[in-house]
Structure 1
Amino acid sequence: MPLRIRTAGIEVDVKMKPVGNEIMVPKPEIQMRRIDTGDLLEKVRVVTDRRYLWIGHGKELATETRLIDPETGKDVPSSEALEILSHYNYKLVDSKGNIVDEREMGELIEYYYVDEKGDEHVVRPFERTQLLDIPPENWVPSTLVDEFVITAVYELYTDKKLDMVKLWELAEKMLKEDKVGVTTYSHGRGFVSYYAFLCPIMVNGKFGWLLKLTDTKMRFDHLMEIPAKIPLPVKQAPTLERLPPVQLIVATAKKKKQTS
């Protein structure tokens, strides 16, 4: 799906790909075995609790499981068995245990949440962001990115020569001013929106644009006082008070009181 960048000076379409990576710290696949016997050890998902739902009735069913030794055909007590979960998936079910296809139901499904006062708020999933709109006031010092934990990074680029020139002129300007653009972004298909930092870069004589996503701001709980006898010319970093609030949900209707 195309993505467009719009600022006070340019408006161009770009492609978006996850940033590549180079592993700097070796991560060999670690295996385990017993020292005394040499037997290999494996970590597995073990089923600790399960339930069966009667389709069309919504009742939880009682179970009587019979375990059999495949070689001898003899019963094996459940106390001697370990249930290992090899594969799993998710199903959407109604109160009667009927499987519901979320895509087929479409607009017949309503999404909502209940706040701490018991009021219901009807919402809808985010649409995928198609426009990164960054007004002049949303270009902020690049040091502000350090306040956040970056969860994903994407490269934004174009193959069109004219748009490449526009992107370079903007990158050159913002690199000189040491600024990054701030907006919000959503992948769609859900209820998550991110802060998005649009960052110009220069690497090996070439330029590029990175889109850095975050939903977490760092909290510093152990900052230390600067000793009074050692005055330092420290420049205080600005805060993110200029940022627009990230949108948490997309409301589709007025809130309504939860019925009992």
Structure 2
Amino acid sequence: MSATKPTRVLANAKDLLDALAERGALSPAEIAEAIDVPRPTVYRLAAGLEAVDLVRPSNDGRINLSKRWLRLADASRAGMREWRDGRAALDRIAEDTGQTAFLSVPRGTHAVCIDWAPGRGLDVLILRPGRTLPLHAGAAGRAFLAFRSDDEVEHYLTNAPFEALTPTTLTTADELRADVARTRDTGHSTSDEDVTVGIGAIGVPVRDAEGTTVGCLSVGGLAEDIRSSVDELAGVLRGEAALLPARVD
């Protein structure tokens, strides 16, 4: 066996896991299209990952991440000492607003959710621990994009147009430049059904002692509830963000 073959298998397995983390449960055909491999390869990858309890098949034939990822996420969060106060902040936000609260960090061209505190009676939100969203969609991603340097923003926008997740997703460079300007002006990002129809979110940056954006606190819920309470929700988030700079022991 050549040295490159196991490396390619591992890379394909990583791509499959990333696709499930970003999009939730997918059929083998959807996975094959998402990671650009033949469907038989998807079956082999899924069987191997299921054998080590990283994915699980559902009754409708789709493949999803296993619950083992929850334990891995807990272990990962426990090792991130700089965010040791994050859970308490999320719990307060969820209690004060009734909405689901998220803590996300930037990873390349995506926002990665590392913790959350579910709100009352809503389980249709895409973002949750371990899942990611691109910088052009969602409150966390667009907050990270807005508070990058101008050069970094323009570099990211060279990849436009971006994928439309819903009819209201911002996909063009001009749309996103305007959104960056609005977000910088208000100090918060607003996601209005651009990731999931009927769902909205508000996000604010969390900065370290040097002023670098290192995280994002956000809340998500029914779009009509978010629209009616933008200023209130943003105020709650800003208050918690000010108390939650990333600290390194």
Larger radius of gyration: 1
User: TM-score of the superposition, structure 1-length normalised?
Assistant: 0.19
User: TM-score of the superposition, structure 2-length normalised?
Assistant: 0.20
Higher relative strand content: 1
